[in-house]
A and B are shown apart, each in its own frame.
Chain A
Amino acid sequence: MPDDVTGAGTLVEAPARPGVAVRLVELRRSFGPVVALDGLSLEIVPGELVALLGPSGCGKTTALRALAGLQELDSGQVFVDGRDITRVSAHRRGMGMVFQAYSLFPNMTARENVAYGLRLRRVPAAQRRKRAGELLDLVGLASHAGHYPDQLSGGQQQRVALARALAIQPKVLLLDEPLSALDAKVRAQLRDEIRAVQREVGTTTLFVTHDQEEALAMADRVGVMSAGRLQQIASPVELYERPRTAFVAEFVGLTNRLAGTAGGGSVQLLGARVPLLPGSVESGPVTVLVRPESLLVTPAEPDAAERAAGRVLAATFLGALCRVRVRLDDGTVLLAQVSSVDVTQLAPGTPVRVGVRPAPVLAIAGSA
């Protein structure tokens, strides 16, 4: 059944075909002196959408291309559905791929593009046409079937590319920053659409991005990469609230670095005791990574005497929320998040007290 596209009938209405598991084991790849993959291992469960997140050049694309068979590896193994496909060439892997660059075939219409993979599989013309139509419908472009790529907008082209990738009922769907060439609004919309489509078809999906918001919004689990390795892979909530390394804490979301004293599973910080996350340095003077929303900023009042004192430097209005920059009396500058209702009392120059919520934090070695 896995390779049988012809018999599958309507992918759109049929119950989600269960996805397959993917396992990357110790992938290594260097380009001259540059180590793009440094022993990357990753497991994706069937039907899951995993986002690979990381700074530019950390090896995300290389990892994705290795899974697609478009990138040769120095060592390591790739398993899909339990089968070792490390030596299988790209055109026999049955992966659906959407590229960062526009990749529709300019000499074919949207429908022909979507149907191309089916044509390669010798699906009869009538059936090809029907399925291409269904998939274009799925991505909301049924009315553009006869258009050539240069008659489509960037967002439309990427939708057609998604339909084209899905048309072959891929074992795994691979998306390499498919939204990065689009403007913010189309991006957010298409992001949700891709997620909805992925849920509907149930294909195991690997999504590469350097946009943390995108990763957190779309993925079941997010893998944070740095220098060719996976730092942590976890659900968006866990990644955000329980980062395992300083890199993850600082790459995902905004973070303050504060000095504290650790001991007995907690840390003394801004006049409060806060529990420590696993992986923290457990004793002595430490640097604590604290999210802006974990900080409490209130106008200076006598009853808040045990908190650290400081002055507001600036406040940024973001809609429902505001970011307030505060300089503590010891010189540390902090970024805190407060609700817009409270910000009226926090004009620049206002003396304030800063406290911290008792959410677990990560403590690392060294002084802030």
Chain B
Amino acid sequence: MRARAAIRWSILVVVGIYLLLPILAMVEFSTRGAGSSRTLAAWRAIGTDADLVSAITVSVELALLTVAGTLLLLVPTMTWVQLRVPRMRRLVEFICLLPLTIPAIVIVVGIAPIYAWVNYLLGDSPLTLTFVYIVLVLPYAYRAIAAGLSGVDIVTLAEAARSLGASWRQVLLRIVIPNIRGGIISAAVISVALVLGEFTIASLLNFNTLQVVINLLGKRDAAVSVAVSVAALVFAFLLLLVLAQVAPRRRGAGMAEVEDA
């Protein structure tokens, strides 16, 4: 037993060092001052650089909109398919997983003409990126919610609720959603992480999101760009921690499967 525990811990430590080392290096680099002094100038710049602040705002807004859009799209659809038209499940799954197989660059090329229209109709706000991002996170969110749905027999639960007098809306809100919370939260987490880290599409469509601005900054002031990157990592990590706390109150349906997605 002892030996096993030792092996386990040493694996953890090695992996921990491997993952932490670059972050520590980034922290070290971003706090490097003139000569061998330390300075937090780069970190302070995060709050004062107007471009950066607006990029952070845009990215966070994008993340929230994407999560809301994805969940509004997927949860009712997948529930409906499972309850009413189970034979359509393969098709829906195929469609939702499709973006995985299409490289981002191809998506951009394909979507650029559509965005010409989107810009024409909705203005050129970077928030219009939400549409592409929903497509982008679809496969991951689908897997997460599907895992949540497979963890409970929602067909029987829905029938029980129906016979007790629940409308379909009540079935969705009071029965299905609370019981696939784990899956929904996983879907949200992964969506946020993806949106905050997305660079290719935003850059090619010329929107100044967080990653795009970090990249630009990197050319001008490397220390600030590295500091922001670390901050973004820490933010995502904290977000994960918070969500893991609220996630599965009674059952962890859905969390496990996303981690290997």
- Listed in ascending order, the chain A residues whose CB lies under 8 Å from chain B are 68-70, 90-97, 99, 101-107, 116-117, 120-121, 148, 150, 161, 164-165, 168, 174
Asked, given contacts A101-B153, A107-B250, A120-B170, whether A70 binds B163 with beta carbons under 8 Å apart, the answer is yes
Closest B residue to A70 by beta carbon equals: B159
Please tell me if the beta carbons of B170 and A97 are within 8 angstroms of each other in the complex.
Answer: no
| CB under 8 Å from chain A, chain B span 121-175 | 152-153, 156-157, 159-167, 170, 175
- Residues in A whose Cβ lies below 8 Å from that of B179: 105-107
Please tell me if the beta carbons of A101 and B156 are within 8 angstroms of each other in the complex.
Answer: yes
- Residues in A whose Cβ lies below 8 Å from that of B157: 103, 105-106
CA distance A94 to B160 in the complex (A): 12
- Residues in B whose Cβ lies below 8 Å from that of A94: 165
- Residues in A whose Cβ lies below 8 Å from that of B159: 68, 70, 90, 97, 99, 103
- Residues in A whose Cβ lies below 8 Å from that of B167: 91
Closest A residue to B251 by beta carbon equals: A106
CA distance A117 to B160 in the complex (A): 10
CA distance A150 to B178 in the complex (A): 15
Please tell me if the beta carbons of B162 and A70 are within 8 angstroms of each other in the complex.
Answer: yes
- Listed in ascending order, the chain B residues whose CB lies under 8 Å from chain A are 152-153, 156-157, 159-167, 170, 175, 178-179, 250-251
- Residues in B whose Cβ lies below 8 Å from that of A70: 159, 162-163
Asked, given contacts A120-B166, A121-B165, whether A107 binds B160 with beta carbons under 8 Å apart, the answer is no
- Residues in A whose Cβ lies below 8 Å from that of B152: 106
A-B pairs, top 4 by smallest CB distance, nearest first, are: A117-B164, A97-B163, A107-B178, A103-B160
Please tell me if the beta carbons of A99 and B250 are within 8 angstroms of each other in the complex.
Answer: no
Asked, given contacts A107-B178, A120-B170, whether A95 binds B251 with beta carbons under 8 Å apart, the answer is no
Q: Which of B156, B160, B166 has the most CB of A within 10 A?
A: B160
B90 to chain A, nearest CB (A): 18
Q: How many A-B residue pairs have CB under 8 A?
A: 71
CA distance A291 to B170 in the complex (A): 53
Please tell me if the beta carbons of B161 and A116 are within 8 angstroms of each other in the complex.
Answer: yes
Please tell me if the beta carbons of B160 and A91 are within 8 angstroms of each other in the complex.
Answer: no
Q: Which of A69, A94, A104, A106 has the most CB of B within 10 A?
A: A106
Closest A residue to B171 by beta carbon equals: A91
CA distance A116 to B164 in the complex (A): 8
Asked, given contacts A107-B250, A150-B250, whether A96 binds B165 with beta carbons under 8 Å apart, the answer is no
- Residues in A whose Cβ lies below 8 Å from that of B250: 106-107, 148, 150
- Known contacts A95-B163, A107-B178, A164-B160; 8 further A-B pairs (Cβ under 8 A): A70-B163, A91-B164, A97-B163, A99-B160, A102-B156, A105-B179, A106-B250, A150-B251
CA distance A352 to B166 in the complex (A): 65
Asked, given contacts A120-B170, A148-B250, whether A97 binds B165 with beta carbons under 8 Å apart, the answer is no
Closest A residue to B163 by beta carbon equals: A97
Q: List 26 A-B contacts (CB under 8 A).
A: A68-B159, A68-B163, A70-B162, A90-B162, A90-B163, A91-B162, A91-B163, A92-B165, A93-B163, A94-B165, A96-B163, A97-B159, A97-B160, A99-B159, A102-B153, A102-B156, A103-B153, A103-B157, A103-B159, A103-B160, A106-B251, A107-B178, A107-B250, A116-B161, A161-B160, A168-B164
CA distance A165 to B163 in the complex (A): 9
CA distance A91 to B164 in the complex (A): 6
